[in-house]
Every structure is written in C-alpha cells, then in structure tokens.
A and B are shown apart, each in its own frame.
Chain A
C-alpha cells in the first residue's frame, strides 16, 4: 500500500484482523517520508510485516518511475531505522529454500542446515556432512522476493505501458466496475509477465497491449488459490492469497484506492492442495 495513503489503506485492509498499532502507524508515516526523500524514490510502498518469534520485520519498498523496474526493499525492526536489503538472486532463493519454520526477528540469526556433499579423495568417493549456515537476512530477502513474484497484485488498468516501454501509474484509472471487480481476470500479478509469452495468438487477440502487459490471476495454479470476497456490502473487494496466508489485497470498486499488505509468518502454505 502507498505510504502516503497509509491510514486509509490500513483501515480498508483491517478486515483480516491484522493492522498496526497507533505508535507504529505514526512512526511509519514519519520515517517513510524520510526514506522517500533520502533514497529518492518516486513512490514508497509499505509492504507489510513478517512476524518473528522475538520481533517483527517491517518491510517497505521503493519504486522508481518505471513501476515494474526492480524494486528496492528496506526493512526495519522499529519502524524508524530502515536498512536496505540486497536484491534477491536465484542462488539465494535456492539456498534458503531448505530453511523451514518461523522467522526469529533477528537479521543476524543463523540457521544451520546440514547437507550431504559428495567428496572425492583420490579414488574414494564418500559423502560428508557439511553444515551450511544461512543468515536470516538472506532468508528475508528471498521470502520477500518469492511473495512479490507469487502474489503481488494490481488491478487491471492501474498501470499502463507507455509506448517507450516504461510502465507508469495510470492517471486516468478510475477503479474497476463492480462486475469486473468480482472476477479474478481483472487482477494482475504485479511483476514482469511470465505466462504472457506462452499464450496463443488467439488468446492474445483481445488483449490491449498498453494495459494487458502482465499475467492475470485467473490461471494461477492451483486453481482456487485466491479467496475473493466483497466486504461492506460490495463497497470493498478483498483478495486473500491462500498460498501465502497473510497477504491481503483490497480495492474499492470505482475508486482509485487499492493496495496490498502482507502480515504473516513468511511461510508458504504447502498444504494448500489438500485444504481446498
């Protein structure tokens, strides 16, 4: 959710029961303004909160003019001092995928993971147990990246692709209509398209290149990994990800206001296919 409209957004997303305490809200409003100035971001998003056993991580993201350009991610434990996280690499994701369980809330905490590595000494080949140490900060980076890639959502039309390539906020976006808001096809993954290239020409025929340049949620696997609900008597549509429980996206139809927040443990729901 946009840091500038934080209070309204939190109110709209409060249906999930997880919000921010008044002092956190106030400090976020102050510190994110400063973050925007110091790092010269075009837009600062409050991304959410990852609940740790000892402390919680508060995450914010800075966007440049091009909305789909790689984002800068910052985290904070007290909502005032922000630290920049390195961009996620594939190695990181692979390395941290072995870590299970909850976050601790201490970025320097090291998870220990033992894995078997084949060692060859002369002709002998034997397996040796190697203890790999993984920093929690690395895990944080990869989890945020995974969540962003899997479930970051934006309504159709909120962004548009300029003829020169960069993606901008659509100033003329006036919200989805009610009938559109109830369909998953009106929401896009807020990331570089992956599935779009694999579509057939027939499927692409009706797409508007300036608007339909991202993947829609419609074909997400497994089917039904989103819960879409109308709240407040159709005045608010709320999408909750079941794959990453804790991610709430809200949009008030016919208004510009939309955003998403993640408040959760940072664990993927791997039981999803059995729970549906």
Chain B
C-alpha cells in the first residue's frame, strides 16, 4: 500500500511540469490505435481547461504526501474545482478531474482498480469496454480515466447529497461501470432514483439496471428465496432492531432472516402441541392457590388454625437457606401449598416435608405424616388383606413345587413387617411428582425390602410402578424401594439436639422396659436449647430420634426361631433330619437405643459420618448450627439453638 503510494507520488512529481500530458500518453500507448485517435481531440481541449488543473496540480504533491486522514477529507477539499467543470459540460475535463482526484484514492484502494499498465487481463477487458463506449462517447474513451472515475464515484457516494451535483455530471461515465464486476449494486439504485439524468445513453443504463435487478430477483431453485428480497429484509431487520456493531453479526442476521421463513410455515402445527403441558401444570397448580379461597368460613379457619397439622415449611426453608440448602422460594411455596392440600384431604395428625428425591425422569416430593388415632386402620387392613392373598398364592405355588421336587430345603420364615406406628413403619409417607400433582401413599416397608435395599444401588425413575431390576432381586417395585430407602435415610439421619425430645412416660412404660428399649418419645416442654457453638463443636449434643434399623430389617428385633404352632408340628416331624444344622437360639440383635448421641455413629471408610459448621462466620451471633450427613449426602439438619 505504501509502496504504491510512493510510486504514485513519484509519478505525480513528474506530472506538474507537463500538465499531466505525458501520463495521458502513457495511458494511450497501451490502448488500441483507435483510442489513440481520440487523443488529438482531447489535446485540443487541454488548453481550455488548462488553468484549472494547473492551479490545482501544484497543490497535489503536498496534498498526497500528507497523512491518510487527508485522503479521507480529500473529496471535500477537491470538490470545489469540479463545479466550474460541471458548467462547461465537457466530459474530457471531467475525466481529467477524475484523474487528479482519483490518484490519492487509487493509492487507498490499491488493488481493486487495476492500472492498465500492469497489463492484466482485467485491464484488457476494460480496454474493450472503452472501445465499445467509444461509439457513443469517443472523447472519454480512456479506460484509465474510467477506472479512476469509478473509484471516485464510489467514494463520492459516501458523501451523499452534497456531492450529488458532481455525481450528476459524471453520469456519462457510468455506462462503463456496468461492465465492472465489483461495482456495488447500490450505485444502480441511486442512479435509478434520478431519472433523466443520463443524457447520453439512457437506454443502455436502464437496461443495465434492469438486468442487474433481474439478476438479484432471480429466485433460488433450492430455497425459493431471492437475494433482492433477502437483502431488503436484512436491512429492515437491522434498522428495526439497531443492534450494536451490526457488521459483526451480519451473517447471523442473514441466517435469522432465512430461518424466519421456515418458522412461519410450522407455526400452526407446532406451537399448540408444545404449549400444552405448560397450561396443564398451570391449571393444576391454580387449584392449589384457589383452595384457600374456597373455604372462607371463619369457623373452619379457626378450626384449621387450632388443628395445626401443617408445618411451617417456609420458616424451616428460611433456616435451611442459611445453610445453603433449599429448593428456592417459589418451589418451596408450591410444596407448602401441596402439603396443605394433603392435610386438608386426609385425617392427618402431624405432617412434615421430608424432602425431595431426584429421579431420572421425574422427582419425588416426600411428605411424612402421622394419621390421627384410629383413622388409618382401614387402609392398613386393606393392604394386609391383599398381601395375605399374595402370600397365599405364593405359598400354594411353593407347596406344588415341594411336592414335585421334594427338596429338603425349607424356606426360612419371612420376618414379618412391623406394624404401622412402630419401628420403620412409624410414619406413613406420601409422594407426588410435582406440587399440585396427586399424592400417592407409599406401602409400608417390609424387613426383606430393607435388607435387599442395603445391597443394591439404583436410580429412581420417577414412576412408582417401575420394576426394580437388580441383583439380589428386590421384592417389589419402585414404590417399595423408595419406601425402603426413606426408612433407611430417616433412621440414619433424623437427629435433634440433645434434650429436645424426652422419652414418653405415660403409656406402656412397663412393657417397653421388659424389651429393654423405649420407642416412644415426646417433645420436652422444658427444653431450653443448646448454645449454637456447642452444637457445632460437639456431636454428642445431637441425638438420633428415629430408631436404628437392625440388620434384620426391623427396628424391634423379631426372633425367627419362635415358631407358630402349626409350624412347630411340622418342625417336629422334620427335626431329626435338621438336627444340628440350625442353632435353635439366635443371638438377639441389639441396636443402639433411641436418642443415642450421633457422636457414637461409626465411621465408614474413614469418613466421619457428620460434618458440622456455623451457617455464617461473618455474623456468628445470629448464625445457626448446620449438620451435614456424609453418609447420606443431601441430608441436612439445622438448629438455631433455641
């Protein structure tokens, strides 16, 4: 670029002395003889316009040697000379002006406009074009002048209306432009906007414009679009949206405009399908919000407040948030409403938001409830009946098999599940997939399920009926597995500050003492709280308030060697064979008693089971104690020390 410029400068330096004529000759010598014929014509005209260029020419070296910035301002500075030329309407002077003005720009553009002297094919083409043009305008047949004029023209366009007058005068030169490929299309539009200007050959110009436009309007056989509409759409989009640095993202805009064509076609088909689930869920959850309004009666409201089976989920969520745990305010509130729905529709004594279990396709929201006295019996009995039926069937099958095979193996008596309200079945659990969805009661857990659940590791899918495919085989489907895991997690992680609960005193104390353990506890009304710092520093200030599940799968040990009468009779018959193989007495499994401090929990793989910390070190006076289970990641407990 600089080299070119310096070259130009050298050339120009020669120029002033001879008023640019030698240069003309150089240009002419590379042209056809025909064009050389026109030279005399021009040379005649030189003297006429001589003073004008001369006055400007001495300036030109200065002008060119200045910084590129000056080049940019060039048109403004050099445009004054042209108006007088315009008046004279002599094309040749225009061409000359074009030469003068164009040279600095030429150095700017460097490669685009090829100098005929370079002798490239392109210049040859230009020469031809100038030959053609000769028939109509022989006096401006110089191809060089034309190319310079061209560069000037495009530059000028940038300066808009001010230079329009110049532009008009130069229309005559334009017909050559038609043959140049790199010409910008906007030129035509602008030219087109000024009809009647082209005095010399209007028909040719119009034809050129039309053919160019026709080319742009050619519809693509692939997409059915045409470039003309596409460009105008793009520009409309850019001007409408006015993005910053539009030139950087012009490709994306182009793509967006094209994409928009496709979207329109699919509108009617897709949108409705896609939106459906949104509405469905909104509709479901709307019921949650409307529920409170429906029972507006004051009495009911008072009753409700008095009953108070609903936990304050938001409050505990607030504390959990301090610990960095929680579902987010919005979701928590929806869960809250869903729990309210549950307590309204079921006879529930106490209710608690147990947590959320993530599944592959859907998640479970788990509520832990305790039914009011005597109101849950029906359900339980129903379940028992069905289960007994199942047992009967399976026993029948087994009998058949035994008859056939006559094996000595006797299936060990299944350990009975714990009755509701005791042990692992102390609470009843309800799950739903989403707040507002139906609450489903989980079946009570059997010891066998807990035992197997300890040996397998599976993902939940979110569908309760999914069979659990595992080894060892799990007795039941996902709802059973979920219930077993809930029981295990509860037993492992439900903790409270020491002294918050105390053992119940009124009911059945003697019986429990016989067993050597108590499983009833109640809130200690005299509990005064433990300092938060103490809770953080010592694990012995935390106790389990859910019974430990024995390796048998039950919380209260069941002696499998105690046989029912029928079995004992059978046993007697077979006893001689089995003698010595099975010890009559099995050692009773004993777990840690209820309300054992968690500091006695075992380490597994050198990992301490609990981590404690303050919720905030910045404002410790209002911080809460946070307890995190490392055994069951995701289980947290907090205490604010009150």
Contact = CB atoms under 8 A, between A and B. Distances in A.
Contacts of A55: 613
Contacts of A24: 324
Contact of B361 (A20, A177, A229, A274): A229
Contacts of B252: 160, 170-172
B605 A101 contact: yes
A101 B630 CA distance: 11
A24 B325 CA distance: 12
B265 interface: no
B231 interface: no
Interface string A108-139: 00000000000000000000000000000000
A23 B249 contact: no
Interface residues of B, number: 52
A254 to B, nearest CB: 10
B277 A54 contact: no
A160 B458 CA distance: 39
A15 B365 CA distance: 11
Interface in A230-263: 230, 232-235, 240, 242
Given A17-B327, A19-B326, A271 B457 contact: yes
Interface string B602-634: 000111100101011111000000001010011
A194 interface: no
A19 B324 contact: yes
B619 A23 contact: yes
Nearest to B458: A275
Interface residues of A, number: 44
Contacts of B243: 171
A234 B328 contact: no
A198 interface: no
A179 interface: yes
A227 B630 CA distance: 24
A54 B459 contact: no
Interface in A210-242: 210, 224, 227, 229-230, 232-235, 240, 242
A91 to B, nearest CB: 26
Contacts of A18: 324-325, 634
A20 to B, nearest CB: 5
A58 to B, nearest CB: 11
B368 to A, nearest CB: 17
B331 A14 contact: yes
A51 B611 CA distance: 10
Given A53-B630, A102-B607, A275-B459, A233 B327 contact: no
A18 B628 CA distance: 12
A178 interface: yes
A79 B606 CA distance: 28
Interface string B240-253: 00010000010111
Given A14-B327, A20-B324, A101 B615 contact: no
Nearest to A174: B256
Contact of B322 (A17, A21, A51, A230): A21
Nearest to A230: B277
Contacts of B323: 21
Contacts of B618: 23, 27
A274 B457 contact: yes
Contact of B281 (A16, A101, A229, A233): A233
A179 B326 CA distance: 29
Contacts of A14: 326-328, 331
Contacts of A38: none
A165 interface: no
B194 interface: no
Nearest to B281: A233
B180 interface: no
Contacts of A170: 252
Nearest to B462: A229
Contacts of A276: 459
B282 A19 contact: no
A19 B328 contact: yes
Nearest to B283: A233
Interface in B461-516: none
Interface string B253-287: 10010000000000000100010011111100100
A179 B270 contact: yes
B350 interface: no
B457 A227 contact: no
A11 interface: yes
Contacts of B324: 18-21, 24
Contacts of A160: 252
B356 interface: yes
Interface centre among B252, B270, B359, B615 (most CB of A within 10 A): B252
A179 B323 CA distance: 37
Interface in A135-156: none
Interface string B155-194: 0000000000000000000000000000000000000000
B599 interface: no
17 contacts: A14-B331, A17-B325, A17-B355, A21-B323, A21-B616, A22-B322, A23-B618, A78-B617, A101-B605, A172-B249, A177-B274, A179-B274, A229-B362, A233-B277, A233-B280, A242-B360, A271-B457
Interface of A: 11, 14-24, 27, 51, 53-55, 78, 101-102, 160, 170-172, 177-179, 210, 224, 227, 229-230, 232-235, 240, 242, 264-265, 271, 274-276
Per CB-CB distance, the 4 closest pairs between chain A and chain B, nearest first, are: A14-B328, A233-B281, A172-B252, A21-B324
Interface of B: 243, 249, 251-253, 256, 270, 274, 277-282, 285, 321-331, 355-356, 358-363, 457-459, 605-608, 611, 613, 615-619, 628, 630, 633-634
